[in-house]
Amino acid sequence: MTTVDPRAVGLMTSSPRPPRRPRRTLGATLRAYVVLAKLRIIELLLVTTVPTMILAAGGLPDLWLVLATLVGGTLAAASANTLNCYVDRDIDRLMNRTSRRPTATGEVSPREALVLGVTLGVVSVTLMAVTVNLLSAALTLAAILFYVFVYTLGLKRRTPQNIVWGGAAGSMPVLIGWAAVTDSLSWAPWVLFAVIFFWTPPHYWPLSQRFKEDYARAGVPMLPVVAGDRVVARQTLLYSWVMVAVSLLLWPVAQTGWLYPVAAGVLGAVFLVEAHRLWQRAKAGLHGAALKPMRLFHFSITYLTLLFAAVAVDPLLFG
């Protein structure tokens, strides 16, 4: 009769202990938290907030109000990004682009990320309520909840239209900035909201084309994963046309001077040229690096930055 070593049974029946993480210094911990917050993305979001506040004020708004709004907005975006990393830590490990995030590597534990994300969210909403106004605080809370529960948990892993509707969260800073100055909402901030909303797909789909193998490996149904390059390029072009048309609506709605419509027209024309070139390359059957999707991705950042610079400068000249 064969005997079994009791120690072997114990090894087979007991779950292995997770490796103990090395002791971190305060600096390493802070750096890991900054990576979780994705501050480079936050920079782009805040680029839209200050110009919107200047447009709402018809000139320079109160400096302390701008500072409070920016701090609250930064904390809110950091909260949403951290909670996104907490939820997506499983698929982040599978993608080269995200595999070095602290929640994917284990440098930051899930519990730490969850506590940090919730804490940042509570602080941001409270700060907005106390130093700005209740409407801005409510919009800030809505932005965090939408990004985490609607986009990250509800849409991202279920539909190729995830980034379309998820773009609503990235559009919220203009509503928050306008509400911070006026304690109300009007048509102008909703036009700017729509600009960012329709900008998001032609901004993000080219990036998704570049990293579609990553998304496929993680099982995330981004449009480039489930559709061919021609379909993606055609959808990108369609959203680009709508974005440019909507951007021109701000001229009559906000009664801007001549600078904004000229800037919107020129920038929009360049954007459409790049989108058409992507469509032409896709129609020609080019794939991978030859498709050059990152050209449009990089210009989309320049486009939004310069467009909102025009939003800010126009009322300073003609307000």
What digits encode the pLDDT tens for the residues 5-54? Answer: 444 334 333 333 434 455 667 777 788 888 877 776 677 777 999 999 99
Radius of gyration of the chain (CA): 23
The answer to whether 99 and 90 are in contact (CB under 8 A) is no
Q: Please give the average per-residue pLDDT across 93-112, as a whole number.
A: 90
What Å distances lie between residue 241 and 215, 250, 291, CA to CA? 27, 15, 20
Can you give the pLDDT at residue 266? 98
The answer to whether 34-183 and 186-319 have equal CATH topology is: no
Q: What is the pTM of this model?
A: 0.89
Any idea where the domains of the chain sit in the sequence? 34-183, 186-319
What digits encode the pLDDT tens for the residues 205-262? Answer: 999 999 889 899 989 999 999 998 999 999 999 999 999 999 999 999 999 999 999 9
How confident is the prediction for the chain on average, in pLDDT?
Answer: 89
Domain 34-183 part of CATH 1.10.10.60? no
Fold type of domain 186-319: Four Helix Bundle (Hemerythrin (Met), subunit A) (1.20.120)
Q: Please give the average per-residue pLDDT across 151-165, as a whole number.
A: 93
**What is the CB neighbour count within 10 angstroms for residue 315?**
22
